[in-house]
Structure 1
Amino acid sequence: MTETLFRDDAYLREVTARVIQADEAGIVTDRSNFYPRAGGQPGDSGVMRWAGGEAAITEALKGEGDAILHKLAEGSALPTPGTEVTLTLDWARRHRHMRMHTTLHLLCSLIPGAGVTGGQIGADKSRLDFDLAEPPTKESLTERLNALIAADHAVSDTWITEAELDANPGLVRTLSVQPPRGAGRVRLVRIGPLDAPVDLQPCGGTHVRSTGEIGRVEVLKLENKGRQNRRISIALVEE
């Protein structure tokens, strides 16, 4: 089992950990600030260092059970089990994923009632697919997204029981990916105030602390991917 430090603090750029397992498939540590690929969000990359060695982490993946597998660059030396290591994120890449992920939640809030049929987060471009006959124009979505971002809404999380989620099925927007179950509780990400959130839905990914941190975004295009499937692609606008 790997303690998922990014769940409590998505801004931990570097942590120390101890190696539990090491082989060619990757390195499992007792704790990690690296997000493993899941739910459309890529796994983090960065560097692992230890006394006498270091290796590039090409991507973090889900291992067996609750383990996080840090996949090293091909041909890297491996730290032995029990070794203390330092895990350093490629912070620029992770932060772009956080900004993108929060933006996609805002996009959901602008298209109420439509289920999300797919999605992908990237550092340069991200997308969501909606079960929707006719989406708003990309110009109106761009304007409304940037208004929500400029309002600098707080982003927070809370936990509810699986029974509470079952009693509120409307919280789940994704039709293709369901919240992970089995632990007895589900994490909710809230954008905006407690009594009137802009968006509230189950999510295990990493997010910024407030929407103002995202910066300006642009809706790049709307695509027809089926009779009722509309793809909306977005990008961060770097000043």
Structure 2
Amino acid sequence: MPLEHVLMQIKDDPSLKWLEKMKGDPNKRNRNKYCRFHRDHGHDTNECFDLKQHIENLIRQGKLRSFLGRDHKDEKLKGKVEEMSRPPLGEIRVIIGGGSTGQSSKSRKTYLKVVQNVQLFGRSPRTKTTKEQAIIFTNEDVERVYHLHDDAIVITLLIADYTTRRVLVDNGSSVDILYYPAFQQMKLGRDQLRPVNSPLVGFGGMKVQPIGTVTLPVVVGAYPQQVTKDVNFLVVDCSSSYDAIIGKPTLNSWKAVMST
């Protein structure tokens, strides 16, 4: 269903938050295209990325359930709302990987600095350079943040409809990794794994052979800074303090930059 039609159907819903006009020089925009969501020129409503993300976020939060009761004939949209309104299938918390981190506070902090940095043999193909808005960090970004610290950056993601609590962000990793215990908790079968021949190598030079690769949908962030994309995970069966690792491929896909 076209986004513009959806917008007109839900335009009176109190959960819909209309955006302000777009930033930038209006003289440089295409005056032949108009977005009803931004109420400004530059792109068509059906091309509006912000509108798409906002609608998906409202559906996921269950705020468009009342829309299902309206008298409309679009069963495709109804099915989309019902599908995305379902709560997460479950929650995956920390997976304890044994006593390799040590018992003292110092040993645990040392472990966090070096844990699970992996690389995949081979090189990713170069992509075409595009002009994007500069990503910078200002003093506003460090408000309410304790300094100085060397903590690992661990986030929560929605992976395959499971709230996954312990995901390490590692811009030194050239692959995205899902540990097998988390894979099992997501009730995924080994028949969904595709074979992979490239081994992983860690700090000690030890090679680990993944048991396969799987593509899963991942949701990160909250509207309007929200991204939903498929991620190709290497599934590894070994001990870890984390459920998954997000590396350079996905960080680049999300156009995300990590600030320590």
Do they superpose with TM above 0.5? Answer: no
Question: Which TM-score band (shorter chain)?
Answer: under 0.3
Higher fraction of strand: 1
Higher fraction of helix: 2
Larger Rg computed on CA atoms: 2
